[in-house]
Amino acid sequence: MLWQWVRYGVVLWMAGCFAISGVCNATQPIEEQSPQRFINELLDLAVACVDGSDAIHDKEDVFKLLADLRQHGVYLETAASEPRVKFVQIQGVMEHLMAHLQASGEICKLAGVIHTPTPSTPLCTLPNEDPSEGLLDPSIAFDMDKVLTVRSRAQIVREFLHKGGDLYIAYPQGGLERRTEEQREIYLQALEQFPNHLFDCMLSTHTLPGDKIGATYLMCDCFGHVYLFAIKNTQANDPSDGVEWGLWFGEATAPGISQRMRDIFEYLNSVQGPDLRSEFGLL
């Protein structure tokens, strides 16, 4: 069960990346659990991950966001200055945990779509290296908290793929050309490195609506329950003040959660993008 990850292992984030020590006891029989218990225990792991991190500052803000997400399943925030750090930190934590829980068998199927104006920032930089020139908007390039969110996710997204998660990179026409030559080369190398799990998806549109920018993940536990984790944000090379950021996490059929799922996949389907619902029996 998920609680064994907390009992037998300590989740740490060092130098901008995550590592889990300890594994589930595979010899113990798996007891069926309710979707709410799965949700609560995954969020417990997220809290432990944040608590054990030396790289995350202002942890109380992150804990509050996770508590609101646990209570309501949806968290929306419009801030005078963009709240990138805490949102992307939670995205990285969740990507990391989803990947490891799939590897342990707690999650039997995992797939996500990153839908952004250009190919995903973490896949346009190498793990354990500083972001390449032009990867970050100049206004945040020297904010180390924000740089760490990009560097850490460069590692985490590849971890997600290494452990068997499928990831679709959806962006409008012309989006790849907006990346520098170096960034394009890194992205194309990633596509070659993970041919069975990483998929390039150029959409049939030239623009991406602001409320559709973000990432959407579906996961299925070993009892057939399907869950959604989603984030609405802006990219690190295009920060904006006064936009609405959002997080969703819960059973895919729950009110609010299902609405975000429909909004994203119906839009992506309309522009020849990936619609993961059929893969998870949601159509």
Structure tokens at 14: 């060092």
CB within 8 Å of 40: residues ≥ 6 apart: 70
pLDDT at 144 (0 to 100): 52
Residue 202 lies in a domain: yes
| Stretch (H or E) spanning 218 | strand 214-221
Give the span between the Cα atoms of 174 and 172, in whole angstroms.
6
Q: Which domain holds residue 143?
A: 73-280
pLDDT at 152 (0 to 100): 74
For the chain, list residues with pLDDT below 70: 1-31, 79-82, 129-133, 136-151, 235-242
Q: What is the CATH classification number for the domain harbouring 134?
A: 3.30.870
Q: Any idea which residue has 């159509």 for tokens? A: 283
Residue 67 lies in a domain: no
Residue 38 lies in a domain: no
Residue 13 lies in a domain: no
Residue 159 lies in a domain: yes
The DSSP line for 99-152 is HHHHHHTSEEEEEEEEE-SSS-GGGGS-TTSPPPTTSS-TTTTT-HHHHHHHHH
pLDDT at 241 (0 to 100): 59
Residue 47 lies in a domain: no
Q: Is 29 exposed, middle or buried (0-12, 13-18, 19+ CB in 10 A)?
A: exposed
> Could you read off the pLDDT of 15-39 as tens digits, one per residue?
333 333 333 334 455 567 799 999 9
Residue 62 lies in a domain: no
CA angle 12, 246, 19 (to 5 degrees): 15
- Cα four-point dihedral sign 116, 262, 86, 35: negative
Kindly report the backbone phi and psi dihedral angles of residue 82, in degrees, each rounded to the nearest multiple of 5, phi listed first.
-65, 135
pLDDT at 27 (0 to 100): 44
Q: How many CB atoms lie within 10 A of CB 81?
A: 8
CA angle 170, 176, 180 (to 5 degrees): 140
pLDDT at 249 (0 to 100): 98
pLDDT at 41 (0 to 100): 94
> Could you read off the pLDDT of 224-241 as tens digits, one per residue?
999 999 999 876 666 665
pLDDT at 82 (0 to 100): 59
For the chain, how many structural domains are there in total? 1
Residue 100 lies in a domain: yes
Give the span between the Cα atoms of 26 and 41, in whole angstroms.
18
pLDDT at 20 (0 to 100): 34
